[in-house]
Structure 1
Amino acid sequence: MSFGPAGFFLSYTQADAAYVKRLTEHLEASALPVWLDAKLRWGARVPGEIRDRLATAPGIIVIMSPASERSEWVEREILEGQRHGRPFLPVLLRGHRHFLLAATSFFDARDGRLPGEQEIGELRALLDSDAPRPGPVTRPVPVVPVATAPTEVSLRKLRHTLEEGQLAHADILTTSLLLEAGQRLDRGWLRRSDAGRLPVGLLADIDTAWAKFSQGQQGFAMQLARHPGPPEGAPPGRHRDFLALALTVGWKGLRGEVSPPYSELVAADDFPPGFFPTMRNPQLERFGSWHDKWTDTVMTVHTRLRNSGVRGS
């Protein structure tokens, strides 16, 4: 990479440019480096430099508004940042929370306010440390609905992302689709009691999309073919069941060690059959309990698949 020190990546749309200008000036006055597309160098490779900035940013500040919710660029920047495991710092300017950031706490700027001393301190802590972002903030956070789209629109996005070969992006979109169906977007993981909320038709549509663009090598049907049920003597849907699946599809090594961060998990050039979808939510990795929540999510989906007889098409 040929650019200078990484700054906080600011993801936004031009409709919110007035607030973004104020925010940028405010953060830079506090000695916090900020990078946004207005700072692109003359002759820079636009998609390439944006990807590089997202991969190395100490944090990604997303301005949430109705306009940014509709923006394909903002969505892609969120997906790329999640792929690399970067901390997210959403700012709610107007409207609802972005569905891809539903499980991440946000700064409420609906009255036009700028981050205060506490938020500036949190940004400095991120800038000064490579450690994961701390857990949820202790200050009260208002309850704000999550912006969602009709299922067919979300499925169309999934198919388009798969067609482009963006497997990690498609993986994160798949997880969001499942969480939305289970009414758990704001929690970021599924409980076993949520299995009945997952529509069989949706699971079949997701499986068909993955199978089509991977020549049948990825998707739920392949996972079920390779791991149709728990090992002998193991309770279905529990830890040993998950571990056997994770070993079979390549989420874990032969010793069953804890999986690496999401950015490393999906960094391979070639994936074993059934590796995707992982149903893993990168937003949860800042919490110590993320692995248990991942296990519950995967086993909730697989319990529904086994009981419904979904086999793809």
Structure 2
Amino acid sequence: MLSHFKGVPFTDVRYFEWHEFPLKTLNIRAENLVSLKLPGSNVEQLWDDVQNLVNIKEIDLHGSKQLSKLPDLSQARNLERLKLDGCSSLMETHSSIQYLNKLEVLDLRLCESLRSLPDTICSESLFELRLWGCLNLKNFPEISSSHIHFLDLYECGIEDMPLSIECLSKLNSLDIHNCTRLEYIKSSIFKLKSLKHIEISSCSNLKRFPEISSSCNREGSTGIEKLPLSELYQLELKNSSRLESLPSSLSILKSLQIRGCPKLESLPDELGNLKALEELRVEETAIRGIQKALC
């Protein structure tokens, strides 16, 4: 066990940073540690036992390609940032991360071996969740935080979106790219009052885009101008080879871009009634004509 560092007892160390740390484990007592940064390290696991990490606020292990598992972090009650991007050997996170109530940032980009996350992430402080490049991740956790503004699901293995996505009330941008197992997107995204931009591209198994249901209306009216998603101004659908239809209720849009959807044979008839639409681009589809209302 590492007990001293430059003559100082390790239990007194508060900030520890070592780029390309060479050892396979950091077997320490870290009761007073506030920040631990080991980017690009050779660590396979930090430690075996449950540490009293009540003071720690940041753990940064990004680029530690040998890291295979996380320790029990149940005592890290004040942890705010957990950066694991580029930990390509990490297959699962510890279940304790779902109870880190002060967690603000969870960065798992390019964790290519990651197969699962806890079913729920309970932190209401979470504002950044990054899952880009998690090719083998099949489940998207239920999230209780309402502070997430941006969600990028680039090259994820997820098969479905959680119902809790409707709780991301401050989400203004949703990007779903190359999620080849994703077949459906729940209509609950239309309950997102702040959502302004949706981009869906290269989701080769996506069969349809959800209809805007009147049940999403906060006031019970079917008037499209009163739908919660009234701030959505841009929808992009690209390279979705199985997409066959679009929802009829799109009159809230200012920009609609469709490219590389070879099974899409027609646009909704209601498209000609769009008062807000300023830009319409349609390329590489099976559409052979347009409605008279668009002429």
Whether TM exceeds 0.5 here: the answer is: no
Larger gyration radius, structure 1 or structure 2:
2
Q: Which has the higher strand share?
A: 2
For CA contacts below 8 A with separation 6 or more, give which structure has more relative contact order.
1
TM-score by length of 1: 0.29
More helix by share: 1
